[in-house]
């Protein structure tokens, strides 16, 4: 039994892990609801073509795909977006816009597992479709921030860096980079922080081969552009280029909205963020942990052409994803995970089998009333039972011994402050409800 282990890159969730998982999902779900997003879900297993058709064959290497018993080529979903596009596409005509949708689901990719990078992971996805203006991007960035703030994280713990692929396009066009080479150059930009100057120059040379651009010169101006951290600096550069100046109007709208929503402190301009994915078409952003680890917590952006490419309607769209693994790691290191307590409200101590029948009747009534109740299945002695109540994390112990049953009462004992009081069994449900709400003082003499 023990030699059949779980598959590499898959996690088992013991109750304490699952409790943490639920906490993450709850915070995310609450934040999304406050923004008017509605939850959706799609099949975990999809036809392989859904992911290969529009995304390129290279992706197949990382797909968790196989042939099912009916000879169909299928794949576990590596992301939600293709399914989202299909579902929205099927009903888009009749749906009120904008569409605010979120999902929390398990995704899969067949890769060599590493820390923070597994074959199965859960991800929050929030998407806003049908609105092309920057107000939608601002809404998503605000939601992204709230999904982190909801855990008790502060502006000091993370930062959402905002960038803009469209601005990059206009900038590179003004630098005379041929249109078909721009994506390649952005690939170099993506590595700006991680690679050595020599490697960057080599990469730039490779991208610009066959063009008239000077790799070294372009690399220098790209670096300078990527170093911009404020709207003012951008405006200075944009004065020379009408297309860029026009784009800055969008930037102002974005930053204004974010400011009015109260999230200025959470965001910063950082043009080194371009996101690896080629499908992003406008603003892009990534949330990072502030500090040495600098874990990436979330990422997203605008993808106005993707839904149509995936076979859906021509809908502007933007969205972001947030994974459970890094967020959990971060909360753990910041000590922000709530202490695990899944114990029952009441542990009923049945002393002697004579009391059992009466106790079970009350237990059933308490459970019908909505309380979480456990009790000893086997007869046990007092010290043992109260120890059990303590061990499983019960809030209160209820004593059902021969004495109590004879008198028609039960003894309530707080496991935390060790006070106790008796209540009549006829009054048990309202009395215990009061105890849970106000503590022992509700029944103490």
- Residues binding RNA (CB under 7 A): 2-3, 5, 8-9, 51, 59, 62-63, 78-79, 81, 109, 111-117, 194-195, 275-277, 299, 321, 351, 381-384, 386-391, 399, 401-404, 411, 413-415, 418, 420
Min dist CB 115 to RNA, Å, is: 3
- Closer CB to RNA, residue 266 or residue 284? 284
Min dist CB 118 to RNA, Å, is: 8
- Closer CB to RNA, residue 7 or residue 179? 7
Q: How many CA atoms lie within 13 A of 153 on its CB side?
A: 30
Min dist CB 362 to RNA, Å, is: 15
Min dist CB 381 to RNA, Å, is: 5
- State whether residue 111 is helix, strand or coil: coil
Beta strands in 296-345 (DSSP E): 296-302, 317-323
Distance, CA of 290 to chain centre = 18
Q: Which residues pair with 73 in a beta bridge?
A: 67
Provide the token pair at 22.
């639920």
Q: Which residues contact 181 (CB under 8 A, 6 or more apart)?
A: 207, 208, 211, 213
- Closer CB to RNA, residue 244 or residue 412? 412
CA-CA distances (angstroms) from residue 321 to 80, 102, 297, 300, 424? 9, 10, 9, 6, 54
CA 216/CA 205 separation, integer angstroms: 8
Q: What DSSP element (H or E) covers 74?
A: strand 73-76
Q: Cα-Cα-Cα-Cα dihedral of 81, 87, 93, 98, to 10°?
A: -50
CA 50/CA 28 separation, integer angstroms: 27
- Closer CB to RNA, residue 30 or residue 382? 382
- Closer CB to RNA, residue 119 or residue 170? 119
Min dist CB 154 to RNA, Å, is: 25
Provide the token pair at 263.
């999230």
- Closer CB to RNA, residue 415 or residue 429? 415
Min dist CB 311 to RNA, Å, is: 17
CA 163/CA 4 separation, integer angstroms: 47
Min dist CB 277 to RNA, Å, is: 4
CA-CA distances (angstroms) from residue 175 to 35, 180, 226, 383? 40, 14, 14, 81
- Closer CB to RNA, residue 257 or residue 281? 281
- Closer CB to RNA, residue 238 or residue 431? 431
Tokens 């809908």 belong to 315
Min dist CB 36 to RNA, Å, is: 24
- Closer CB to RNA, residue 95 or residue 181? 181
- Whether the bond between 98 and the residue before it is cis, its omega within 30 degrees of 0, is yes
Min dist CB 25 to RNA, Å, is: 19
């Amino acid at each position: 039994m023990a030699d059949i282990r779980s598959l590499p890159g898959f996690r088992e969730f013991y109750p304490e892990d699952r409790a943490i998982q639920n906490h993450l999902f709850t915070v995310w779900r609450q934040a999304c609801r406050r923004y008017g997003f509605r939850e959706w879900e799609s099949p975990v297993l999809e036809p392989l073509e859904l992911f290969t058709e529009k995304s390129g064959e290279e992706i197949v290497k990382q797909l968790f795909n196989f042939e099912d018993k009916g000879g169909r080529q299928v794949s576990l979903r590596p992301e939600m977006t293709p399914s989202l596009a299909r579902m929205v596409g099927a009903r888009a005509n009749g749906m009120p816009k904008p569409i605010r949708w979120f999902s929390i689901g398990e995704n899969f990719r067949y890769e060599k597992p590493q820390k923070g990078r597994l074959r199965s992971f859960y991800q929050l996805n929030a998407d806003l479709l049908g609105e092309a203006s920057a107000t939608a991007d601002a809404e998503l960035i605000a939601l992204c921030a709230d999904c982190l703030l909801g855990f008790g994280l502060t502006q000091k713990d993370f930062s959402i860096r905002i960038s803009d692929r469209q601005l990059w396009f206009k900038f590179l066009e003004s630098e005379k980079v041929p249109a078909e080479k721009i994506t390649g150059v952005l690939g170099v930009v993506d590595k700006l922080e991680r690679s050595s100057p020599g490697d960057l120059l080599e990469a730039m040379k490779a991208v610009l081969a066959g063009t008239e651009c000077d790799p070294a010169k372009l690399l220098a101006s790209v670096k300078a552009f990527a170093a911009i951290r404020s709207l003012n600096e951008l405006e200075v550069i944009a004065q020379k280029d009408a297309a860029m100046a026009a784009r800055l109007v969008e930037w102002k709208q974005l930053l204004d909205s974010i400011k009015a929503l109260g999230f200025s402190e959470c965001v910063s301009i950082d043009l080194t963020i371009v996101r690896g994915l080629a499908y992003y078409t406008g603003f892009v952003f990534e949330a990072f942990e502030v500090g040495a680890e600098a874990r990436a917590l979330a990422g997203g952006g605008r993808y106005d052409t993707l839904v149509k490419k995936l076979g859906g309607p021509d809908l502007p769209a933007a969205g972001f994803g947030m994974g459970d693994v890094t967020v959990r790691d971060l909360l753990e290191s910041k000590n922000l995970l709530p202490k695990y307590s899944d114990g029952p409200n009441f542990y009923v101590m049945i002393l002697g089998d004579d009391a059992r029948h009466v106790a079970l009747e009350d237990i059933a009534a308490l459970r019908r009333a909505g309380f979480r109740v456990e009790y000893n299945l086997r007869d046990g002695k007092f010290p043992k039972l109260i120890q059990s109540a303590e061990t499983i994390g019960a809030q209160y112990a209820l004593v059902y011994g021969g004495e109590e049953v004879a008198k028609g009462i039960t003894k309530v004992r707080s496991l935390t402050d060790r006070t106790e009081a008796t209540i009549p069994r006829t009054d048990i449900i309202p009395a215990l409800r009061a105890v849970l709400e106000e503590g022992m003082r509700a029944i103490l003499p």
